[in-house]
Amino acid sequence: MTHYYLVRHGEPDWDLKDKRQLSSQRRDFVPLTERGIEQAERLLSQEDELQTCELILSSDKFGRCCLLRIL
């Protein structure tokens, strides 16, 4: 049986940049906070099937790529 998991990226570090200066695509380059990284690591530890999955599809956004490096 095929299983699909939809995973959202972890918490971004909005304090790193002035939110007013973040418009459209620049918002995608804000890295994850320590909490965001912990969220991704916790997901991986809770879902054994993610460790052996055959295919991961992702957007090319920075925060999402950080999540994939953890997974």
43 near 50, Cβ under 8 Å? Answer: yes
Find the angle CA(56)-CA(10)-CA(42) to the nearest 5 degrees: 80
Q: Which amino acid is at 38?
A: E
According to the model, what pLDDT value does residue 58 have? 65
According to the model, what pLDDT value does residue 45 have? 80
Note the pTM of the prediction, 2 decimals. Answer: 0.57
Residue 17: pLDDT band with limits 50, 70, 90: low
The half-sphere exposure of 10 on its side-chain side, counting CA atoms within 13 A, is: 22
